[in-house]
Chains A and B, each alone.
Chain A
Amino acid sequence: MNNEKYATYRLEDFLDDDAFIKWVSGKEQDTHVAQFWSEFPSQYPSAAVNYEFAVSVIRTYRSQEVWENRDNKAHVLERITATIEANNNRRPALIRRMSTWVRAAAVVLIATVGGYLVYNKLGKPSRETIATGYGEKRTITLPDHSVVTLNASSSIAFSERWDTTSAREVWVDGEAFFDVKHLNSDTTNIRPGQRFLVHSNGLTIEVLGTSFNVRSRHGKTKVGLVTGKIQVGFTGAAAPKAMVMLPGDYIEYADNHLLLTKKINKPESIKRWTQVPLTFTDATLSEIIETLQDNYGYTVKVSEQSIKKLKIEGDINVANVEELLTVITTTLNVKIEQPSEKALVITSGK
């Protein structure tokens, strides 16, 4: 699908593109096509603005009331059945003898069992995307009741409906902590519907019932495992082989390379952000600046590069940015000025 024309795509071209429309309205079942569109802005940066605009216009339009009239579903079927019966058309006697609500239950059961038997792919995977703004955090329950905590300025996408025959799949941009519900404690015998896959910027995490953290920012993805077991696979031709991670394992990955693999002493610490607004362990000023920019939308300037290497030993757990700045200025030999609400200038010396 690599094509010159996309580089100069205008808003109208996007809205006119059947494949794009199909993807953005969640009807695309081909994962390769879906991947092409999700990676579009990085593949064709010149058309990224128009792409984003087209996506937001359509997503905006799509957030509308859905009227399913479920309360009357059984009742309307009953009326249909009665009318057909009155017209003397043949119908299996079994259904005719059933009481009203058994019949309603039968619809659900048939739909479910029928779906189970014949669905190879999801019937109609409406894609749900949840995004957080700066300074915002959200806890999301997935269709299988697994719980995801989404950090600020991050997004997660998944199909609205998960069936039991295909893998549970989610796509993460930014940082998220997963507590996955297992469907099978026997990890050597996992059926497709029990698989749980997390895709994030060039890697896929296969979950074997577990809790872990994934953070994908600036093209770099960091994965840390708290409990259970996961397998991490990497996409791309030159990518390394898949690896199995155990509790406390931590990796950093970017551009087809493993940058770092290490063991964390306190695996629990990587999920602390889910409970405390701002949390760091042995953090450098550089890491803190990154969080302020990524999660809170600050612009941070430093007087000289070297001060970014300054490190605050131990744990920081604070409720807000103001407290964090106080911690920095009291522990490090730096001065912080705030020329405007979302801008900081850090200089060395008091």
Chain B
Amino acid sequence: MQSESHVLWWNAFKQGDWDAFTALYGEFYELLNNYGRKFTQDADLIQDVVHDLFVRLWTTRTRLGDPASVKNYLYKALRSALFRKIQSLSKFVELDNASGGFTVNFIPDASFRQEEQELRSQVIALVNTLPARQQEIIFLRFYEGMSYEEIAVMMDINMSSTYKLLYKALDNLQKVSDKRFLTILSVLFFLSKSFSKKMLIPEG
């Protein structure tokens, strides 16, 4: 689960190894930016938070523990730092997602087969109707591939509320899917399978 190099870098960095520190930065910079972007479109704000995060890591390195996952630890640290920053800024200026939004920008023209395109627009429409926290759970679950336990730790919620939030979101998803096109999709799936498995020759 945990990459060996992450542990090596983390331990070396805690001992004051600057190269290991920059290696961690090199490894996680893009991922942290991408995660931060879901909460705000403000690139400067994200950069500031990434800057603050790494400065704090270095200055407090001797007091840091050994997280089960370096990546999840950094995600969580970025998340709370970003929330604090957004909250303090929103006292003075109007921010786009001051209330703690979560937005995923889907790629508009991903070339899929027609039935996939249909599914796609449904999923996107549905995801966009979900409250920010549910969207974040979906992101951590389906994009980052996290377990419930990891999500609960990340978002500071207990396991049961992780389930509740997720089930609510999935329930919505399934309801829409069931009605509109789960059947269509299953039919398409069966058809395509039987195309490739049988020759469709009438007997005799």
In this complex, what residue of A is CB-closest to B187? A49
Give bound CA distance, A293 to B34, whole Å.
42
Q: Is A99 an interface residue (CB 8 A)?
A: no
Judge whether B142 and A68 touch: CB under 8 Å: no
Distance in Å: Cβ of A204 to nearest Cβ of chain B: 22
Q: Is A335 an interface residue (CB 8 A)?
A: no
Give bound CA distance, A110 to B110, whole Å.
35
Judge whether A67 and B33 touch: CB under 8 Å: yes
In this complex, what residue of B is CB-closest to A300? B200
Q: Is B92 an interface residue (CB 8 A)?
A: no
Give bound CA distance, A52 to B16, whole Å.
48
A-B contact count (CB 8 A): 176
Give bound CA distance, A95 to B51, whole Å.
18
Judge whether B55 and A84 touch: CB under 8 Å: yes
- With contacts A26-B145, A80-B25, A293-B195 taken as known, whether A11 is within 8 angstroms of B201 at the C-beta atoms is no
Interface residues of B, dominant DSSP = helix
Total B residues in contact with A, Cβ cutoff 8 Å:
69
Judge whether A25 and B30 touch: CB under 8 Å: no
Q: Is A241 an interface residue (CB 8 A)?
A: no
Q: Is B152 an interface residue (CB 8 A)?
A: no
Stretch at the interface among A32-40, A85-93, A142-150, A268-276: A85-93
Judge whether A68 and B34 touch: CB under 8 Å: yes
Q: Which of A18, A87, A89, A90 contacts B148 (CB 8 A)?
A: A18
Binding site for B on A (CB under 8 A): 11-12, 15, 18, 21-22, 24-27, 48-49, 52-53, 56-58, 60-70, 72-73, 76-77, 79-80, 83-84, 87, 89-92, 95, 106-108, 110-111, 114-115, 118-121, 123-124, 133, 217-218, 289, 293-294, 297, 299-302, 305
Can you name 20 A-B pairs with beta carbons within 8 Å? Answer: A53-B186, A61-B143, A65-B104, A65-B106, A65-B107, A69-B37, A76-B47, A76-B50, A76-B51, A77-B22, A87-B59, A95-B18, A106-B22, A110-B19, A110-B26, A114-B20, A118-B8, A119-B3, A124-B3, A302-B201
Binding site for A on B (CB under 8 A): 3-6, 8-9, 16, 18-20, 22-23, 25-27, 29-30, 33-34, 37, 43, 46-47, 50-51, 54-55, 58-59, 104-107, 110, 112-113, 116, 119-120, 123-124, 127, 138, 141-148, 170, 173-174, 177, 182, 185-186, 189-190, 192-193, 195-197, 199-202
Question: Which 9 pairs across A and B sit closest by C-beta, in order of nearness?
Answer: A25-B145, A111-B26, A68-B30, A65-B105, A69-B33, A27-B145, A67-B37, A118-B5, A18-B147
